[in-house]
A and B are shown apart, each in its own frame.
Chain A
């Protein structure tokens, strides 16, 4: 089974978020980076499938050269191959990101024997200066016979932007079925179909889908393993395949980021240790939760 997992490098924020002086980014000088939590679970799910069926896990990211660190982290968890689509410092939105992933896959799929896939986005050189014309609707794309993967896993939404759509856009461009928000995935023994589950407002939804398919997962689908020492060593030595993807414009422009107002309050201290219990009981009574 060939599984592709797309991951995103995001700042590792702790107790508070600080915005850079120009208001354009999260200040990461005091923090590290990590992979979005849902995506770490996607990698774990992929590794388990390959342990069961054989095959390979390819982990792909679009990001700056330093995103190679996150790819190595995922290799240490058991991914076999890593692809870095090197971005240019701009923030790539969902249309640009999905377009880059599809372009990279079509590149992978366009081996000499594969049929020529339609290329809605010829990599014209000055693409960035083009007006933000809507991309050609790609929903009617037939299932790509050259799709090199049996399963494409995404995190449901990135921790930072929370756009909730890169996987869906990739599915449409490739003509694949897509389910999102998945917390349980059972692939049939023949590897040709899967049953995916999620809970929505107290009801469990079950989706039976043919493979290949795009599945966006959420944290909780599994408990990711810790990387093993051999895994870390292998990841350190691994070659990361690098490509420079063409840019797909989109009509959404970020003007700036800011921390919402009202984030700087401070709790009223009721007291210390068990001595504070009478005040705490009085407070709970006031809130009406003791009756």
Chain B
């Protein structure tokens, strides 16, 4: 299957979330159809009925010409092929990483109308390219950008978008069998998708990035889409990068506080411990709903997803809404008065006790250890 993958840039390279999406895309592209990949007569894909919305760069190879002989009909058959879509100039395409991740072709989307992120315009370009190649699937990381762009692609094409996929494989022409997350990963759904191209976002916390067995030569081409005025109404102006120390999303240590902290004045001891460990404070939803701490400190499904080396969860019961935000932590240690709290079923280690006794004692022990060292 030919799979298009939206690439998000990070500095001069590919963002980690997109490396995960590429890994997913490659596994989908290489998956063999169990029931044989015979196109079903009468199932016309929408993309054959639409005029191409963009013009490929005349100086480069026409799109799709490098594909294998088989499976040209709707991009769902033939040899596996991962095609990256990068917004920006062809000279800025991170070819090294794309090559390592098995990308055969990369399209640089160039437009004088695009200065930065513009969700509907990005979607228009992606949908146009998917139609011209054609692609059997279009994949993006399940991020705010990836999810938003794919939602627009779905609206433009009238096709379903399956959000937060964990795995997917063909189950016949134009049909995919897939597993996706619900409740931010606390539940899995098995589903069947009949749509071409398949529009999917990838649950990035469930797919580890993995390079291809061998690098692939990546051909870079330019693609110049045409936009309607309406596509360009919404464009992001980025403000300056924020530089406020360690961020919750990337912290190596997070010290969490929940209802058990007892009120807005009880977080000082947790912040002190976080400071000692070079980490930051994170809180549960009840803490932000009560207004004890600002929402930007919330760890959970409706807050920040964290992936620290250590998450020390203090006075947190462990509702699934919270655990969805910290399931990527390498080690979870709980401090809780209730040995039957749900968090005991998620943590690796636990101290049964009052955080107001345990944490000050822990701080004292760490200080004493450092003083003696």
Contacts and interface: CB of A to CB of B under 8 A. Distances in A.
Contacts of A147: none
Given A201-B15, A283-B333, A258 B320 contact: no
A268 B350 CA distance: 6
A273 interface: yes
Contacts of A37: 285, 302
Given A159-B183, A281-B369, A287-B309, A134 B234 contact: no
A244 interface: no
A243 B145 CA distance: 34
A204 B225 CA distance: 27
Interface stretch (B28-36, B98-106, B107-115, B337-345): B337-345
A255 B347 contact: no
A260 interface: yes
A242 interface: no
A206 B237 contact: yes
Instruction: Name which of A162, A218, A220, A269 has the most chain B CB atoms within 10 A of its CB.
Output: A162
B362 to A, nearest CB: 5
Interface string A51-75: 0000000000000000000000000
B193 interface: yes
B302 A267 contact: no
Nearest to B368: A281
B52 interface: no
Nearest to A14: B319
Interface residues of A, number: 90
Interface string A165-191: 100110111010111110000000000
A284 B321 CA distance: 26
Interface string A263-280: 111111111111011101
Given A268-B348, A283-B349, A161 B182 contact: yes
Nearest to A40: B289
A266 B345 CA distance: 4
Interface in A84-109: 93-95
A198 interface: yes
B152 A172 contact: yes
B351 A280 contact: yes
Interface stretch (B75-83, B89-97, B212-220, B239-247): B239-247
Interface residues of B, number: 106
Interface in B107-162: 117, 119-120, 142-145, 147-148, 150-152, 154-162
B38 interface: no
Nearest to B322: A15
B277 A284 contact: yes
Given A219-B295, A252-B195, A17 B190 contact: no
B342 A251 contact: no
Contact of A16 (B143, B238, B342): B342
Interface stretch (B19-27, B59-67, B256-264, B352-360): B352-360
Contacts of B57: none
Given A164-B163, A202-B247, A267-B347, A290 B366 contact: yes
Given A168-B151, A257-B182, A266-B344, A274 B236 contact: no
A253 interface: yes
Contacts of A179: 119, 234
Nearest to A181: B144
A207 to B, nearest CB: 6
Contacts of B240: 204
A13 B320 contact: yes
A14 B320 contact: yes
Interface in B223-279: 228, 230, 233-242, 247, 249, 252-253, 277-279
Nearest to B250: A202
Nearest to B363: A277
A288 interface: yes
A174 to B, nearest CB: 11
A169 B154 contact: yes
B151 A276 contact: no
B136 to A, nearest CB: 14
Given A171-B155, A205-B237, A268-B349, A16 B320 contact: yes
A57 to B, nearest CB: 21
Interface of B: 10, 15, 46, 50, 117, 119-120, 142-145, 147-148, 150-152, 154-164, 181-195, 201, 228, 230, 233-242, 247, 249, 252-253, 277-279, 285, 288-289, 291, 295-296, 298, 301-303, 309-310, 317-321, 330-334, 339, 341-354, 357-358, 361-362, 365-366, 369
24 contacts: A15-B317, A16-B345, A157-B147, A157-B163, A160-B183, A162-B164, A164-B201, A168-B155, A177-B234, A180-B119, A201-B10, A202-B242, A203-B241, A205-B237, A206-B236, A207-B235, A252-B191, A253-B193, A267-B334, A273-B352, A283-B349, A284-B277, A289-B279, A289-B309
Given A162-B184, A200-B143, 19 more contacts: A26-B187, A134-B46, A137-B46, A138-B158, A172-B156, A179-B119, A179-B234, A181-B144, A203-B238, A205-B239, A207-B235, A209-B233, A251-B193, A252-B193, A269-B349, A272-B351, A277-B361, A283-B333, A290-B277
* 6 nearest CB pairs, A to B: A15-B342, A220-B295, A165-B151, A172-B155, A273-B353, A168-B151
